Structure 1
Amino acid sequence: HPYTPAYYDLFKDRRKSAKKVLELGVLEGRSLMMWREFFPNAHIYGIDVNEDCIRIFEDDDRVTVFEYDQTSPRDMIELIDKIGSDIDIVVDDGSHIPPHQIYACLTLMKLIDKGVIYVVEDVKAPRPRKGYLGIKFFLRGYDVNEPNLEPIRKKYGIGRHRGDDRLIVVKHREKGYG
């Protein structure tokens, strides 16, 4: 998917300063390895519902993986209690199920410090006629932007291969806005 070049643009200014990066959804851990390399001064945290993911990084001093469910309030609170609320970047590559994405974002944004960049991958397009208003509707209390990935797709020859090949960037609103 075309996210990697977009991530460079999004995160290049925080590359050296980021101290904590959290990814929801680990699978085989490839993106955690990418984050570890891209953010040389950050500790990389991951969560997944599959406990086997923990073993991949058990000997890595810069990557920690927990068995948590992004849809569980108890798990999200416990996670933030363990790692702290001073997270620089969150990437949701978890279940890809819109209600899970919405819930995780709303829950974590209340628990983590302002200044975080929260990215949701694999966002489905709104379908108002079918009753789905889209993730942006539910996150309207935050600044929500959708980077235009078309130039990246064209430059790197990456086609749209799924209906959810979109990402959104969520930030806390500045004071006095909205």
Structure 2
Amino acid sequence: MILNQLLKRRLRMWRRAPAYFVGKFHDRVFGVDESWLSKPREAFPVGSWQWLALTETTYGGFNIGVASKANRGGDRMSPFFHRYGVIYEEFLESLLPRREQSLTLVEVGILNGSGLAIWCDLFPNARVIGFDIDLRNFAANRAELEAAGAFSANRPELYEFDQLDLGRSALILKNVLGGTKVDVAIDDGCHSIESIKTTFENFMPHMAERFVYFIEDNFDTYDVLAPVNRHLRWFQRGEMTVSTRPFRP
């Protein structure tokens, strides 16, 4: 029974993003071209997966600053691990012409801060906000990030945030945003369905008319959120689910 359910889930994911899984299959069979690793990030378009992966490497790469294997950090953009770089490139492409403008980007679950460092580089004039239940990991790693050049173009705001506390987190969002609408939201926090649902519900009233909402590291997110939020557009790329609002001219 469990095996049958897992197979059905896998088939649903393949149908939703065949090109993504063809790419993963190619990389697994033929390997990943590693020539990009020897080049500076400036050799690639800003916001491309290579640029994102090299920026992540600059600010720590794998496992920097966090001893726990459960909270590794810095493993998102590279094609050798989560392969999220290609997904961020796909869905942030429409925002890149506005990257010098004043956008609002919020990341929930900042851990050691390598993600915030990437976003501050990618959107130098954005309001970048980081939420986490425990900011000590970031505090312990901040000096190392800054020594590598992080936050020289933009500095993030930081706030404690418990995804599972619906009432308090809603109040924190209201007070922090103060009416500002969020253009990009990233949930890289607890990864449980309960926390994902609570966070999504809290954020939706604060999202801009045109937004991108990324939810990392849970295979079931699409099946839980998409059927009850049909007014939004939904995409699944493996463990990543992305939501946007249909454009109304």
Same fold (TM over 0.5): yes
Using the alignment, how far apart are the partners of 1:24 and 1:115 within structure 2? 19
Q: Cα offset for 1:112?
A: 2.9
Query: Is structure 2 residue 213 aligned with structure 1 residue 170?
Result: no
1:146 corresponds to which residue?
236
Instruction: Report the alpha carbon displacement of residue 70 of structure 1 after superposing the two structures with TM.
Output: 1.9
Asked if residue 48 in structure 1 is aligned to residue 143 in structure 2, the reply is no
Give the number of equivalent residue pairs.
153
Provide the rounded CA distance (Å) in 2 between the counterparts of 1:97 and 1:18.
Answer: 32
Match of 1:107 in 2: 202
Q: Is this contact kept in 2: 1:98–1:135, CA < 8 A?
A: no
CA displacement 1:46-80 (0-9 Å, x = unmatched): 10000315635699562111001122232233223
Distance verdict in 2 for CA 1:71–1:174, change over 3 Å: farther
Q: Secondary structure at the match of 1:145?
A: strand
Higher helix share: 2
Larger radius of gyration: 2
Contact 2:182–2:206, Cα closer than 8 Å, also in 1: no
For residues 8-157 of structure 1, what are the structure 2 equivalents within 5 Å?
Answer: 8-15=89-96, 16=99, 17=101, 19-53=103-137, 55=139, 62-72=155-165, 73-84=167-178, 85-125=180-220, 134-147=224-237
Indicate conservation of the 8 Å contact 1:98/1:124, yes or no.
Answer: no
Separation of aligned partners in 1, 2:126 and 2:118: 12
For the residues of structure 2 that align with 1:97 and 1:139, how far apart are their CA atoms?
19
SS of 1:70 mapped into structure 2: coil
Change (3 A) 1:44 1:169: same
Question: Where does the alignment leave 5 or more consecutive residues of structure 2 unmatched?
Answer: 1-81
Residue 152 of structure 1 is matched in structure 2 by none
Q: Unaligned regions of 5+ residues in structure 1, if any?
A: 127-132, 148-164
Aligned residues of 2:233 and 2:246 also touching (Cα < 8 A) = yes
Partner residue, 1:157? none
Answer 1 or 2: higher relative contact order, Cα 8 Å, separation at least 6. 1
TM-score with structure 2 setting the length: 0.54
Distance in 1 (alpha carbons) for counterparts of 2:172 and 2:191: 22
In 2, the alpha carbon distance for the partners of 1:13 and 1:38 equals 13
